[in-house]
């Protein structure tokens, strides 16, 4: 409670101060005139004048309710509520109607708005203070420096304080006193706000520029260097994070593909559609929870994750049983068939749910993010998806390496005939593995629904990229897929700032084709006699 | 015949023995795409076309060569046999697709390479022709500039270097052939050299056309971005929508189709074609025999790309537009289904397939548009399952059944 008390104290001081410099008729005279330059000067004084009458007048000016009558009195309000600003006395409606409205141009109007905003810097309401600081930052004005300086002393909220600091530094950087300038530079550097960097630049100009104090110049130069360093690290961290994030999404898409491709040697062109089914399953679960148990809405992912897995796995099992099993040994035709299946699934979903995208809302605990540096915020949903994809990898690893089914899958992947000879029911293993791969894709869809729109075409964009991840990593290798997907995501995001998204994509494709020249079996090649099919 | 005799005389005794034994009992391993039985002795090399086929072809050429100009130009518009501009464009388009399907069948049906990126070569040929057509608009465009409209729109002051010379028709024709050939050769060289094959290769070809599509969608690439080329006015000085021009384009396309068919047939029946078939059926065996598949694959692959480019070049003036969506992976995959429906590994099949599938597409999209994708998806699923040899295979089996 110490801080609000202090604020009240300051407010009291302000009021006392107001009494000392009361609003006078001369102050306002220029407002009535036609000269915009003197009008601006008068408004500037008015905007920073702590007198409550000044506040009322500003509000009236903003509302277009200020007028000046023949006697030079400024009348605010309209109709029966009109009053003389200085005297505070009501005026008659007739007099009010006769008064000439005060004209403002855009420049003056924005000054008025800032004047109103500056007053709110001392508001008790946090949101009001934040909005005020925001408004002043949008259009910095040295005239408000005293106000900002006072507000800065008393502000308790760190976010608003940092904005006020920025505001103060903006005006203080050009202060005639070098000590103030140095303090402002220190502040800018300490805040690490990249948008303030450009303000330092004129100060850092070598002698002959308009800054004369050598200490200030040196400090500004050092400040710019330090900010640049931070900016570089910040950019790098942001790039790496977005690369990881893209990689985790690719990983979810590629994991199932790696299992099915490794096992039956078929690129499943309908794999993206299992993602799409998972995403729609999430959507349906979300709608149902919202409708029947709105109180539990935050926990719907607990239901949607298994639902997405189940729906996609079931679809995968059906497809394998009904279609793909009859095409084993004809990989190219299987490729075409799976493409046909993807068309069928897309069109079916389009007819059931409509061609428009549907919205899947994030549960409350997934919104927001952690701000690591100014301008670098890691959204929770991306972080959670990163963790989720790693969890799915762990699950896939556990299934493949710690269960009997996994043992069979690995055996069939390595040598189908030999596995059959020692009694593995390869057909059954194929079905289950295909279903499992599809289910993993469904999990991916469940995650994708949290970061983007859900539409019938959702999966189409992922098939080439996720296949590239599989190829890059080495077919049939979980570790390879992880490295491939994350590496692909990183590579795309690292190239993007230089060449733009489209050329980055092309460059990545070319790189992969070249990479395959060097290592046709991917980063993690299967070793042994089974490798060459 | 002479071919076989030479081989017989040259071969040592043990080879002759084996050949005879193999001819009695040999079968390919189950699951391979090849024929169920084979003979180790080389079968006789078939003629380019049988006598009846030559006659049928001659009759067809004569019928189209006389009938189409007659129906399109001489008969009045109300006549029941009149060939409308719509009908002619439609059939012309289908013939272009048929050439592309034929080209794809050369690599898929005879060399075992399923390309899902042939749409790229088709579009490259189309773009090369489109450049010429854009240049021949001259100052009749919307902005009355020497530059194509889209360049004026992008505020470009002069032609990019790769547009130089495109005002000459002969140079454009050269580009139609050389550009797809060069792209295919480079891509094929790298892909085949590192022995990328099967499904791997299919996906990489798809990635290739996808990347090209992204590239062509950019305005900065210099090919009109999203909108591509359109609003053509004339070709070789003739108005492009004139019935006479359309008829000539139609007949040219028909001639190209016939010539492509004969060329493909010549390749397939040549020694090179047989090695290619060997690569399709058992590449590693062929390599053990001392063949390097690279050159064979590369030749067939490049030839196929060139045919596809020619198809694209004929397609653009008839349809009147070319844009990057021609390169979308879906288009290329659809080409594969034309071949599959018609019957791959036959040269007649892809032509039938292109006509059948695209004919169905025209019918569906005009009458029940929303079911077209269901139908297309269903063909993709059902044809490999129940009609592995396509329509032509079905007809052949029917005929074989009648004979038996």
Per residue in B54-104, pLDDT (tens digit) is 999 999 999 999 988 888 888 887 788 888 888 889 999 999 999 999 999
pLDDT of residue B74: 84
Total Cβ atoms within 10 A of residue A122: 20
Q: Show residues of chain A in contact with B215, CB under 8 Å.
A: 502-503, 506
Residue B379 near chain A (CB below 8 Å): yes
Q: Show residues of chain A in contact with B108, CB under 8 Å.
A: 332
Identify the helix (H) or strand (E) that includes residue B229. strand B229-230
pLDDT of residue A15: 44
Contact yes or no for A523/A474 (Cβ under 8 A): yes
Alpha carbons B144 and A326: distance in angstroms, whole number: 61
For residue B156, give the 3-state DSSP assignment.
coil
> Band of the pLDDT at B255, cuts 50, 70, 90?
very high
In the structure encoding, which two tokens stand for residue A152, read together?
């800065």
Residue B365 near chain A (CB below 8 Å): no
Q: Show residues of chain B in contact with A517, CB under 8 Å.
A: 190, 193-194
Q: Are residues A308 and A205 in the same domain?
A: no
Residue B375 near chain A (CB below 8 Å): no
Contact yes or no for A83/A76 (Cβ under 8 A): yes
Identify the helix (H) or strand (E) that includes residue B284. helix B271-288
pLDDT of residue B39: 56
Q: Are residues A166 and A260 in the same domain?
A: no
pLDDT of residue B326: 92
Q: Is the pLDDT of residue B200 over 60?
A: yes
In the structure encoding, which two tokens stand for residue B344, read together?
């791959």
Per residue in B365-404, pLDDT (tens digit) is 888 888 888 999 999 999 988 888 888 888 887 776 554 4
Identify the helix (H) or strand (E) that includes residue B321. strand B321-322
Per residue in A4-38, pLDDT (tens digit) is 554 554 444 444 444 444 566 666 777 777 777 77
Alpha-helical (H) ranges within A378-462 are 380-402, 404-414, 416-421, 426-451
Per residue in A470-491, pLDDT (tens digit) is 878 776 678 888 888 998 888 8
Q: Are residues A422 and A351 in the same domain?
A: yes
Query: What is the DSSP code (8-state) at residue B330?
Result: H
Per residue in A426-457, pLDDT (tens digit) is 889 989 989 999 999 999 999 888 888 888 88
| Domain, as residue range, for A104 | 2-218
Minimum Cα–Cα distance from A510: chain B residue: B208
pLDDT of residue A42: 77
Whether residue A522 is contained in a domain is answered as: no
* Count: domains in chain A: 2
Q: Show residues of chain A in contact with B378, CB under 8 Å.
A: 340, 344
| Best mutation target, A260, A264, A324, A332, to test chain B (most B CBs within 10 A) | A332
Q: Show residues of chain A in contact with B325, CB under 8 Å.
A: none
Q: Are residues A118 and A260 in the same domain?
A: no
Please name the member of B193, B204, B380 whose beta carbon is closest to the beta carbon of A343. Answer: B380
Q: For residue B128, which of B168, B184, B186, B88 has the smallest C-alpha distance?
A: B168
pLDDT of residue B331: 92
Tell me how far the alpha carbon of residue B19 is from its chain's centroid.
37
Q: Are residues A369 and A436 in the same domain?
A: yes
Q: Is the pLDDT of residue A255 over 70?
A: yes
Angle of the B390-403 helix axis to the B329-342 helix axis, nearest 10: 0
The verdict on a CB contact (< 8 Å) between A513 and B190 is yes
Domain boundaries, chain B: 83-327
Q: Is the pLDDT of residue A230 over 60?
A: yes
Residues in A lying within 8 Å of B, measured between beta carbons: 265-267, 323, 326-337, 339-344, 346-347, 351, 464, 467-468, 471, 502-503, 505-506, 509-510, 512-514, 516-517, 520
* Residue B379 Cα, gap to closest chain A Cα (Å): 7
Q: Are residues A310 and A407 in the same domain?
A: yes
The verdict on a CB contact (< 8 Å) between A337 and B384 is yes
Q: For residue A168, which of A208, A128, A132, A136 has the smallest C-alpha distance?
A: A136
Residue appearing with tokens 């060939």? B83
Please name the member of A267, A336, A342 whose beta carbon is closest to the beta carbon of B340. Answer: A336
* Residue B44 Cα, gap to closest chain A Cα (Å): 29
Q: What is the mean pLDDT of chain B?
A: 85
Percent of chain A predicted with pLDDT > 70: 86
Contact yes or no for A363/A290 (Cβ under 8 A): no
pLDDT of residue A521: 67
Residue B376 near chain A (CB below 8 Å): yes
Chosen domain end from A149, A183, A218: A218
Q: For residue A278, which of A247, A303, A310 has the smallest C-alpha distance?
A: A310
Alpha carbons A133 and A122: distance in angstroms, whole number: 10
> Band of the pLDDT at A207, cuts 50, 70, 90?
low
pLDDT of residue A194: 66
Strands B229-230 and B234-235: unpaired
The verdict on a CB contact (< 8 Å) between B30 and A347 is no
Contact yes or no for A363/A297 (Cβ under 8 A): yes
Q: Are residues A182 and A268 in the same domain?
A: no
Q: Are residues A185 and A323 in the same domain?
A: no
Q: Are residues A444 and A367 in the same domain?
A: yes
Q: What is the mean pLDDT of chain A?
A: 79
Query: What is the DSSP code (8-state) at residue B70?
Result: I
Q: Are residues A369 and A415 in the same domain?
A: yes
Q: Show residues of chain B in contact with A336, CB under 8 Å.
A: 333, 336-337, 340, 380, 384
Percent of chain B predicted with pLDDT > 70: 88
Residue B107 near chain A (CB below 8 Å): no
Which of A87-101, A176-190, A402-416 has maximum average pLDDT?
A402-416
Please name the member of B190, B203, B336 whose beta carbon is closest to the beta carbon of A517. Answer: B190
Alpha carbons B33 and A328: distance in angstroms, whole number: 12
Please name the member of A327, A346, A502 whose beta carbon is closest to the beta carbon of B384. Answer: A327
Residue B324 near chain A (CB below 8 Å): no
Q: Are residues A38 and A120 in the same domain?
A: yes
- CB neighbour list of residue A224: distance below 8 Å, 6 or more residues apart: A197, A200, A201, A204
Q: Is the pLDDT of residue A235 over 90?
A: no
Alpha carbons B402 and B404: distance in angstroms, whole number: 5
Whether residue A533 is contained in a domain is answered as: no
Whether residue A395 is contained in a domain is answered as: yes
Q: Show residues of chain A in contact with B198, CB under 8 Å.
A: 331-332
Between residues 151 and 190 of chain B, which touch chain A (CB distance below 8 Å)? 190
Per residue in B267-295, pLDDT (tens digit) is 999 989 989 999 999 888 999 999 999 99
Strands A100-101 and A83-84: unpaired
Contact yes or no for A178/A171 (Cβ under 8 A): no
Whether residue A521 is contained in a domain is answered as: no
- CA torsion A42→A43→A44→A49, rounded to 10°? 90
Chosen domain end from A459, A483, A503: A459
CA end-to-end distance (rounded Å), chain A:
76
Which of A362-366, A443-447, B226-230, B298-302 has maximum average pLDDT?
B298-302
Chosen domain end from A459, A480, A495: A459
Whether residue A276 is contained in a domain is answered as: yes
Whether residue A482 is contained in a domain is answered as: no
Integer-rounded Cα Rg, in Å, for chain B is 23
Residue B324: C-alpha distances to residues B130, B194, B327 (Å): 12, 29, 5
Residue B46 near chain A (CB below 8 Å): no
> pTM for this one?
0.74
pLDDT of residue A453: 84
Please name the member of A323, A351, A468 whose beta carbon is closest to the beta carbon of B207. Answer: A468
Q: Are residues A126 and A201 in the same domain?
A: yes
Q: Is the pLDDT of residue B28 over 50?
A: no
Whether residue A477 is contained in a domain is answered as: no
Tell me how far the alpha carbon of residue B128 is from its chain's centroid.
17
Exposure letters A348-381 (e unless 16+ CB within 10 A, then b): bbbeebeeeebebebbeebeeeeeebbeeebbbb
Per residue in A272-303, pLDDT (tens digit) is 999 999 999 999 999 999 889 888 888 888 89
Per residue in A38-54, pLDDT (tens digit) is 777 777 777 777 677 77
Minimum Cα–Cα distance from B204: chain A residue: A513
């Amino acid at each position: 409670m110490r801080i609000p008390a202090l604020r009240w104290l300051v407010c009291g001081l302000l009021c006392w101060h107001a009494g000392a410099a009361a609003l006078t008729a001369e102050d306002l005279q220029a407002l009535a005139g036609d000269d915009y330059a003197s009008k601006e000067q008068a408004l500037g004084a008015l905007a920073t004048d702590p007198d409550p009458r000044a506040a009322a007048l500003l509000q009236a000016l903003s509302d277009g309710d200020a007028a000046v009558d023949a006697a030079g009195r400024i009348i605010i309000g309209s109709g029966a509520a009109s009053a003389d600003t200085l005297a505070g006395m009501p005026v008659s409606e007739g007099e009010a109607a006769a008064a000439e409205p005060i004209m403002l141009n855009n420049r003056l109007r924005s000054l008025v708005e800032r004047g109103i905003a500056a007053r709110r810097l001392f508001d008790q309401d946090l949101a009001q203070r934040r909005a005020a600081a925001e408004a002043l930052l949008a259009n910095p004005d040295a005239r408000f420096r005293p106000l900002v300086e006072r507000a800065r002393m008393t502000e308790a909220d760190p976010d608003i304080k940092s904005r006020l600091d920025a505001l103060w530094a903006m005006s203080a950087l050009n202060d005639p006193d070098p000590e103030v300038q140095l303090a402002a530079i220190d502040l800018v550097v300490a805040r690490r706000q990249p948008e303030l960097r450009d303000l330092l630049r004129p100060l850092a100009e070598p002698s002959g520029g308009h800054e004369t104090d050598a200490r200030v110049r040196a400090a500004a130069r050092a400040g710019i260097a330090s900010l640049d360093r931070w900016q570089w690290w910040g950019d790098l961290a942001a790039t790496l994070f977005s690369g990881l994030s893209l990689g985790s999404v690719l990983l979810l898409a590629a994991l199932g593909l790696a299992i099915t491709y490794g096992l039956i040697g078929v690129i499943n062109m309908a794999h993206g559609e299992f993602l799409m089914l998972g995403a729609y399953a999430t959507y349906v679960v979300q709608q149902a929870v919202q409708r029947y148990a709105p109180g539990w809405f935050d926990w719907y992912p607990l239901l949607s994750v298994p639902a997405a897995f189940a729906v996609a796995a079931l679809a995968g099992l059906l497809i394998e049983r009904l279609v793909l099993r009859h095409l084993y040994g004809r990989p190219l035709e299987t490729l075409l068939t799976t493409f046909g299946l993807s068309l069928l699934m897309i069109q079916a979903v389009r007819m059931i749910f409509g061609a428009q995208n549907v919205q899947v809302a994030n549960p409350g605990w997934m919104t927001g993010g952690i701000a690591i540096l100014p301008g670098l915020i890691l959204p929770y949903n991306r972080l959670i998806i990163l963790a989720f994809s790693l969890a799915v990898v762990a699950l896939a690893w556990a299934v493949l390496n710690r269960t009997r089914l996994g043992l069979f899958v690995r055996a069939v992947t390595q040598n189908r005939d030999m596995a059959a000879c020692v009694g593995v029911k390869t057909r059954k293993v194929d079905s289950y593995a295909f279903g499992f791969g599809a289910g993993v894709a469904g999990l991916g869809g469940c995650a994708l629904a949290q970061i983007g729109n859900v539409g019938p075409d959702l999966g189409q964009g992922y098939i080439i990229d996720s296949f590239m991840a599989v190829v890059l990593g080495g077919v049939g290798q979980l570790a390879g897929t992880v490295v491939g997907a994350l590496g692909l995501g990183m590579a795309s995001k690292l190239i993007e700032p230089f060449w733009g998204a489209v050329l980055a994509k092309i460059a990545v494709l070319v790189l992969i084709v070249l990479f395959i020249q060097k290592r046709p079996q991917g980063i993690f090649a299967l070793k042994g006699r089974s490798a060459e099919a | 015949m002479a071919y076989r005799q030479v081989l017989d005389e040259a071969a040592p005794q043990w080879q002759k023995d084996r050949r005879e034994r193999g001819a009695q009992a040999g079968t390919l391993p189950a699951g391979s795409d090849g024929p169920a039985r084979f003979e180790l002795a080389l079968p006789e090399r078939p003629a380019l076309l049988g006598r009846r086929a030559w006659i049928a072809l001659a009759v067809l050429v004569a019928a189209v060569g006389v009938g189409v100009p007659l129906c399109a130009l001489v008969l009045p518009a109300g006549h029941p046999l009149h060939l409308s501009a719509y009908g002619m464009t439609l059939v012309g388009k289908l013939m272009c697709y048929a050439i592309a399907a034929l080209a794809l069948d050369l690599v898929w049906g005879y060399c075992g390479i399923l390309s899902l990126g042939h749409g790229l070569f088709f579009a490259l040929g189309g773009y090369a022709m489109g450049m010429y057509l854009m240049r021949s608009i001259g100052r009749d465009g919307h902005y009355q500039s020497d530059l194509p409209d889209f360049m004026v729109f992008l505020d470009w002051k002069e032609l990019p270097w790769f547009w130089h010379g495109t005002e000459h028709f002969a140079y454009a024709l050269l580009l139609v052939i050389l550009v797809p050939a060069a792209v295919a050769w480079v891509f094929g060289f790298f892909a085949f050299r590192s022995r990328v094959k099967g499904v791997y290769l299919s996906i990489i070809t798809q990635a290739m056309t996808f990347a090209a599509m992204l590239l062509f969608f950019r305005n900065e690439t210099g090919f009109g971005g999203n909108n591509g080329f359109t609003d053509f006015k004339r070709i070789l000085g003739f108005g492009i929508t004139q019935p006479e021009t359309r008829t000539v384009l139609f007949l040219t396309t028909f001639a190209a189709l016939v010539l492509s068919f004969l060329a493909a047939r010549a390749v397939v029946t040549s020694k090179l074609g047989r090695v290619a078939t060997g690569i399709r059926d058992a590449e590693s065996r062929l390599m053990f025999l001392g063949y390097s598949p690279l050159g064979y694959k590369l030749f067939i692959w490049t030839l196929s790309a060139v045919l596809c480019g020619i198809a694209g070049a004929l397609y653009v003036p008839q349809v009147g537009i070319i844009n990057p969506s021609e390169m979308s992976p879906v288009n290329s995959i659809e080409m594969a289904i034309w071949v599959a429906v018609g019957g791959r590994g036959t040269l007649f099949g892809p032509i039938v397939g292109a006509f059948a599938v695209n004919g169905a597409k025209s019918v569906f999209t005009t009458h029940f548009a929303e079911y077209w994708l269901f139908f297309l998806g269903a063909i993709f699923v059902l044809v490999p399952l129940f009609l592995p040899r396509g329509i032509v295979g079905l007809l052949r089996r029917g005929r074989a059944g009648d004979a038996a």
